[in-house]
Amino acid sequence: MNLRDFLVKLEKEGKLTRIKKEVSTKYEIANIIYSLDERPVIFEHVKGYSMPIFAGITSDRDIIAEGLGTTKEKLLFKQVEALRNPKLPKIVNKAPCQEVVVKNPNLNMLPLLFHLDGDGGKYGSATVATIKDPDTGRNVSYHRLMMIGKNKFTARLIAKRQTRTTYDKVKDDLEMAVCIGNSVAVMVAASLGPPSGVDEFSIANALDKTDLVKCVTKDLEVPAESEIVIEGRLTREVDREGPFVDLTETRDFERKEPVFVVDCITHRKDAMYQALIPGRFEHKILMGMPKEPTIYDEVSKVVECKNVYVTMGGGSWLHGVVQIKKKNPDDGKKAIEAAFNGHKSMKHVVIVDDDVDIYNPVAVEWAIATRFQGDKDLVIKPDQSGSSLDPSSKQEPGKKALTCKVGVDATIPFDVDKSKYEIVKYKKVDVDAYCR
């Protein structure tokens, strides 16, 4: 479902809020989004700007599933199918995202947000970026952008991720287009991080029809129905980026990052700007949920995997729960190793049986309490490559963060009387019948 149709659908269902009062991009909009628990919202009157702002379309798994025409329970498997069977998108000659073309633009035309006091500047955060690698082709991902001048951002490029790898390889300026205001399919696909050479826009097209159009000034393609497209170059110049609040809701430190020079902005005639507040639900879900299919695929190679959940309590990045159907004594330990292979930044993983609700933290804790023994079922992996988002990891400039990874096998031991590990359940009765 395209973005605009989806917003209409959400409003008809009473799931979207409209804010008619004039609001400011300096902290006020971010605080309102937070106070709404990131429910879908449209700000109709933004102080100093003609564009409305919307947010919240990927803040909840049920909403994401609705945007992809599925259910929360089937969402993982829809992503797995799209990853395994991407569909090359159609290239169109005319597109809504190019109804207005602004060359040599001033970025002050965009209602970029100040999210939190202490941030390095105004940021674009719902920013789907695409580049082309000379060897592996198109890559699509997210890069936060901090405005540093009327036509300049600094772009956060993470080491060993595809954009940074390509940027370091080409040595000259690297063309990049940034799309703001996208369908749920594009938002999810850009988060997935498939192997190098697998095109995320083809994954988006497998999730839901996603036509592309050639950029006006760059040799790149972008979703035809995006609201706004920023065309520019990642230059060899570096400048200050940050501070910025990241997944763990702690402040990421200031760095020197490449300067992204903007040459052209195209947009719909009645374009809407998309906001996404850092460190909260949308940010976390878009980071963590797309790692579930890669974990699922790796675990499925060694055991029968039933489901995967990258938990919110782990910043939707550092902790995972994997549900398996245990058939052999060492299936739990195999699943632990495979899960870490499926998500390299994961720090702690819990393996549970298929009778445990992985979305219920109480059920997962119960499995650990009743099915786990530390001297037999704990896997400790010290000095592993980890995530810079973990403030407790060992971090040195220019080096990958190091952490101690832990796996918990909270599955029922093999070849035992399983009845003593099962929850005994009461039966629900019609209480009203007893109260008449």
Which residues belong to the active site?
A: 246
Q: At what angle do helices 72-84 and 291-300 cross, to 10 degrees?
A: 70
Query: Are 260 and 235 within 8 A, CB to CB?
Result: yes
CA-closest candidate to residue 147, choices 228, 58, 15, 244: 244
CA-closest candidate to residue 76, choices 385, 249, 322: 322
Alpha-carbon gap, residue 144 to 252, rounded angstroms: 12
Angle at 57 between CA 190 and CA 97, to 5 degrees: 60
Structure token pair of residue 24: 């400011």
DSSP alpha helix (H) spans, 243-330: 281-288, 291-300
Query: Are 79 and 286 within 8 A, CB to CB?
Result: no
CA-closest candidate to residue 133, choices 86, 197, 200: 197
Residue 96: asked if its preceding bond is cis (omega within 30°), the reply is no
Q: How far is residue 127 CA from its own chain's centroid?
A: 11
Alpha-carbon gap, residue 348 to 319, rounded angstroms: 5
Classify residue 158 by its DSSP letter. -
CA-closest candidate to residue 368, choices 406, 325, 425: 406
Structure token pair of residue 350: 């819990």
H/E segment holding residue 30: helix 28-35
| b/e map 79-105, b = 16+ CB within 10 Å | bbebbeebbebeeeeebbbbeeeeeeb
